[in-house]
Structure 1
Amino acid sequence: MSSLWFVNCHLTRNHIDFVFIIAHKTRLVDTKKRRYDLDWLRVIAILAVYFHHIGMPFNGDGFHIMNSESSKILDDIMVYFEQFRLPLLFLISGTGTVLAFSKRTWQQFFKERTGRLIIPLFFGVLFIVPPQTYYQYINEFSSYWQIYTDGRFETNHLWFIENLYIISIVAIPLIIFLKSKKSQRFRNWFAKMTSYKVGLLTGGLPLIILTIVLKRYYPTGSSSLTNLSETFFYTYFFIAGILFASSQLFWDNLKKFRRFHLIIFIVSSFLFYGYYFVPNTVVEPHLSISVRWDIWYGLCCLLGWSFVLALLGYGQIHLNKPSLWLKKMNEAIYPFYILHQTVIVVFAYYIIQLDLNIPAKLTILFISSFLVIIIIYRFMIYPFKIIRVLFGMKNKPNLK
């Protein structure tokens, strides 16, 4: 039985003792110690986005480049992983924001975020994304350069960088508050809540309720910041990452209750697919279309929330280990993200024209796009200081 539970059950004792123990427990995370599990999860999250985009031309879901045939099985699998690949990425970004902030003033943090997010965003919109636009609307252009003369610029997959920058800047006051003594009372309450088995899980209730409400007014899946349902959904995971990184106790509780969170994740997976595959004719006589969508969004939130809780718990045990490969991948993963969708779209345009089945095309697209991204990174980005800055990488000495 933990000391926190012991104190909670003996409220007749001196309240000062209670506050002392909680304050001791809610010590800030040691930002000088490298969190290898977070590095691994960042790499895993972005690779998950890459694999998702590899499958998009073949799942019939309206990607930039679409194969003439689509796979229902592939779509059924991808809709499941959609529920937590981006939530995980935003949550890890939230924790990373706290760790980056701990070494800087808010002015330095603002400058660092601007350099590592806005510069790659503008560079990407001007030079990385245009090939996607060209191949998607190839019949509308007389030449590639018409994109520039017509001003046909889009963010496409770089919407994540745009949203992340805005959310990071808006979250600065919250991070400053959590670092100050003024937050002690709040952190004490949060520590108490998360020390119960269902505490972290119930932290997903506001996510479920507010997502359901906002989806009634903003039902689309648009990634625009003005689409408040999607913006709230991802911001919630980002703020959760900030809160988790604000105290070692929260990480300890994630590890402590990892099995419980895994069970909830497994149960929510069965509920998700059970509802996904139930025929409309079964539920139509009993539930209105709006209620059916409410249930769907609720299950999606539960699945995503329980997944990140379980993964953060198990990650501390199985992934918090240094690795030379991890160091290299962690450095390369940001340029990899910026490049990946453009390379996929360009290669997919030609591969879908081959007289092959979907598994063969998927395999060719994966191998060719992955190799080309690695080659571009290793020989055109990694060795050059200016190019590294354009792709949001830190400078290294002795580079050209």
Structure 2
Amino acid sequence: MTTTVQRIDRRYDLDWIRVGAFFLLILYHTGMFYVPWDWHVKAPHVVEGVMPFMLLTNPWRLTLLFLVSGAATRFMADKTTVGQLTGARIARLLPPLLFAMFVIVPPQSYYEIVEYLAQHPSAPVGVENFWVRYVTASGHWCGADGDCLITPTWNHMWFVAYLLFYTLVLALMLLVWKTAGERIQQAAEYLLRGVGLFAWPILFLAMLRATLYAKYGETHALVGDHYVHAVSFSAFLLGFGLSKSDTLRERLVAVRWPALIVAIAAWAGWSIYVWTYRHDTPIPSPQLKLLMRFVFAADTWCAIVAILGFGAKHLTHGGPVLRYLTLGVFPFYLVHQTLIVVMAHHLAKLGLPQGLEGAILVVATFAGCFATYEIVRRIPGVRILFGLKGQPVEALARRPPALA
């Protein structure tokens, strides 16, 4: 029933999928400037028509990233001791997380306050001595509705904080249960077969959506974020189990087309639902809400299955481009949202056509990410703050791709 895992040393498909998912995240966060949903800064004129395109990736993008991160952790865990794995992940993730919270993320909060003041000029808040107040949690930046901006904050870096936490939990599991990787793989291969490849994950995700999400929502605050933990840690463990399974890879390849069809249909249904009730009028019935929990779950899982299946089928080769991008996506992730927030705030003042403005924002964000990566990877003392090992630039070309 189980596959022989020792011969699988590299999954180029997962490397490519990780790179693509992070690039989609840049586009998604650019879109957050325009859609009606709350975000740090907003365009003067929102564009409701962007919502269906945002919903193309909204249900699955971060769940997929946690799955791929779990797969990467499996490759690391099989080559090192639990102590070495824990130390390596802390050294890789903690410095960028802290650096981002105190250096990269603060401009996001700053412009969030600036835009709030522009809309509420009489509000009793200000940005004087901003960074000191941000770091010392003494800003008292509260709105008229009583909601306050809590600082320091990690904003988009919540993903890194959760990934570090899940790695520590997994390390504890490996200490207690040395064959956890093989056992998780066996369980995944047993459950994800036949109809169960679709039925069990969709049912699981729908139940979480109907229970934990309905009660707790999503907070990204680590403590009390029960729904996100249930989904993301499960995806992390699944990635840990399927990364070296030929059996699961073959099954995913075999069902990639049906999965894609169901994912597209579910996306269409979910988009129609969100569009119809986007102003909370009329109010959807409880029965329709429950049905949409399953539609959302089907969208999430089938999109992931399709991506993994097509990736395993076609993304089978590495090369210098993959090596370059695989190393670069972590610095990209660190800086992209701050670049978007700052540039979007200032671009909006120019009164450009929104299509042109959006195109400039996307191109400038990618250019800023590439420029940041090219600069920081050449500075040994700075590399660690951006999730890169402190090795000389000359060694990069010889370094094989490694998932984050």
Which bin holds the TM-score, normalised by the shorter protein? 0.7 to 0.9
Looking at structure 2, the residues matched to 296 and 383 of structure 1 have their Cα atoms a distance apart, in angstroms, of 49
Correspondent of 1:376 among 372, 375, 384: 372
1:105 to 50, 67, 81: 81
- 1:266 and 1:134 map into 2 onto residues whose CA distance is 39
Amino acid at match of 1:49: L
Residues 26 and 191 in structure 1, CA contact (< 8 A), matched pair in contact too: no
Partner Cα distance (2:206, 2:127) in 1: 44
Larger helix proportion of the pair: 1
Aligned ranges 1:8-27 → 2 under 5 Å: 22=1, 25-27=2-4
CA-CA distance at 1:279 after TM superposition = 6.3
* 1:179 Cα offset (Å): 6.1
Indicate the percent of aligned positions where both proteins have the same amino acid: 27
Corresponding residue for residue 48 of structure 2: 72
Q: 1:292 aligns with which of 288, 292, 303?
A: 288
Mapping 1:3-42, distance limit 5 Å: 22=1, 25-28=2-5, 30-32=7-9, 34-42=10-18
In the alignment, structure 1 residue 362 sits paired with structure 2 residue 362: no
Aligned-pair CA distance for 1:177: 7.7
Q: Which amino acid aligns with 1:200?
A: L
Q: Summarize the Cα distance change of 1:181–1:345 in structure 2 as closer, same or farther, 3 Å threshold.
A: closer
- AA of the residue aligned to 1:232: A
Unpaired segments of 5 or more residues in structure 1?
Answer: 1-21
Counterpart residue number, 1:164: 163
Which deviates more, 135-144 or 56-65?
135-144
Tell me by how many angstroms 1:280 deviates: 9.3
What aligned pairs does 1:1-400 form with structure 2 within 5 A after superposition?
22=1, 25-28=2-5, 30-32=7-9, 34-138=10-114, 139=117, 140-148=126-134, 150-151=136-137, 152-174=151-173, 180=179, 188=186, 190-196=188-194, 198-204=195-201, 205-218=203-216, 220-225=217-222, 226-278=224-276, 288=285, 290-379=286-375, 381-397=376-392
2:153 counterpart SS class: coil
Partner-residue secondary structure (3-state), 1:336: helix
Quick one: distance in 1 between partners of 2:180 and 2:110? 53
SS in 1 for 2:56: helix
Larger radius of gyration: 1
CA distance in 2, matches of 1:86, 1:227: 15
- SS for the counterpart of 1:369 is helix
Q: Distance in 1 between matches of 2:275 and 2:110?
A: 37
Q: RMSD across aligned C-alpha pairs, in angstroms?
A: 2.7
**1:150 offset after TM fit, Å?**
4.2
User: How many angstroms apart in 2 are the aligned matches of 1:177 and 1:128?
Assistant: 37
SS in 2 for 1:80: coil
Q: How far apart are residue 26 of structure 1 and its match?
A: 2.5
Alpha-carbon distance in structure 2 between the residues aligned to 1:386 and 1:94 = 28
* Distance (whole Å) between structure 1 residues aligned to residue 39 and residue 109 of structure 2: 12
Provide closer, same or farther for how the CA distance between residues 177 and 190 of structure 1 changes in structure 2, counting only shifts above 3 A. farther
Task: Supply the distance in 1 between the matched residues of 2:330 and 2:291 (Cα, whole angstroms).
Answer: 35
Where structure 2 has 5 or more consecutive residues not aligned to the other structure, the ranges are 118-125, 138-150, 396-404
Q: TM-score, normalised by structure 2?
A: 0.83
Structure 1 pair 331–58 and aligned structure 2 pair: CA distance change class (3 A): same
| Cα shift at 1:48 | 1.0
Q: What displacement does 1:116 show?
A: 0.8
Q: How many equivalent residue pairs?
A: 369
Residues of 1 paired with 2:99 and 2:278: CA distance? 46
Structure 1 residue 261: Cα displacement = 2.1
Distance 2:32 2:15 in 1: 26
